[in-house]
Amino acid sequence: MKKIPVGIVGVSGYTGLELLKMLLEHPHLELVYAANTEGGVRVGALHPSLQGVSDLSVEKADPKEAAKRCELLFLALPHQSAMEFAKEVLSLGKKVVDLSADYRLSLERYEAHYCPHLDKDNLSHAVYGLIEWAREEIAQARLIANPGCYPTATLLGILPFIPYLDEDSSLFVDAKSGVSGAGKKLTHNTHYPTINENLFAYSPLSHRHEPEIAEKIELWGKKAKKVNFIPHLMPLTRGMLVSTFARLKEPVDAMAILRGRYANEPFIRLRSSPVEIKAVAGTHFCDIYAMSQGRDLWVNSAIDNLLRGASSQAIANANLMLGLPEGAGLPRFAYAP
């Protein structure tokens, strides 16, 4: 079977590196185009871990050149830059998996939390790529809004319970991420003396992923829920642990509800005890555990923030868009011990 040519725009960051690693060994996709804003370097120089693995040239990003050579483009660009590139590539008849926030939200919510939207036409038909909840739509899509890492871990855990929740209660989400989720650019929070041997909340009740979580609960749960989202930064390179607290209408068997929804999902692992980051780091799996006491519900989920929360989810979405096996090229073995 001839491999399908694909490209990455934005190879310099952590998600770009993860895409490179998976695509270089993908059984059905051929990486023929790698680009960033400057070009003029090889991937092995940009990412020393790839020296001796690939000598692919990194080019200066050009939508026309990318569309000429690729059937599908992965965009690992900042918000706003992504939609500018995507708009032109889509007009040339190619498919796009966008890892930024540019197509994840409704126009009103996007402009309230990010910036004026520059591609309203494509926004209207973008599909939110949470695979277990939108598999059929993804397979028919030309443009995928790859979900954020915090929303992925939160939504996969809480969505099966939405019909069972008290109508008037709020959700409380306690989320903890490794430092790689903040990207390569150094900030005070990610500076080693700040994060080492430390743990702290940031942007409590005001993080941009809060409206993303709320909007998708309304989309798939068919009801609006108030989401109180508090993210934390941990002194880990990668991994994400989310605890969601909710109020039930009446007592339920929490794990039975999860089994009923996810029994046949190959990349959802239902655990018999609280989840841990080390079991998912380096993989596409989402591990979930839940328990209730009376009407109080706790849902516990873990993912690799760079993989299931970004790059491997993008690969899985591309697989479906291109008619390939969903699990092709996805990492399954954790970085353990």
The catalytic site residues sit at 149
Contact 305, 180 (CB under 8 A): yes
Q: CA–CA separation, 197 vs 55, rounded Å?
A: 38
Q: 101 — phi, psi (to 5°)?
A: -90, 0
Q: Residue 303 is inside which H or E element, if any?
A: strand 296-303
**236 and 277 in contact (C-beta within 8 Å)?**
yes
Cα angle value 6/11/14 (rounded, 5°)? 120
* One-character DSSP codes across 166-220: -TTPPEEEEEEE-GGGG-SS--TTTSHHHHTT--EE-STTT-THHHHHHHHHHHH
Residues written for the chain: 337
Helix (H) or strand (E) holding 31: strand 29-36
Q: Are 249 and 295 in contact (CB under 8 A)?
A: yes
Nearest by Cα to 177 from 202, 143, 157, 146: 202
Mutual angle of helices 311-321 and 14-23, in 10-degree steps? 50
96 beta partners: 73, 143
Measured in whole angstroms, the distance separating CA 51 from the mean position of its chain's CA atoms is 27
The residues pairing with 232 across neighbouring beta strands, listed in sequence order, are 176, 201
- Residue that has been written with the tokens 């655990």 in this structure: 271
Do the Cβ atoms of 96 and 143 come closer than 8 Å? yes
Give the count of beta carbons closer than 10 Å to the beta carbon of residue 259: 12
Q: DSSP label at 248?
A: B
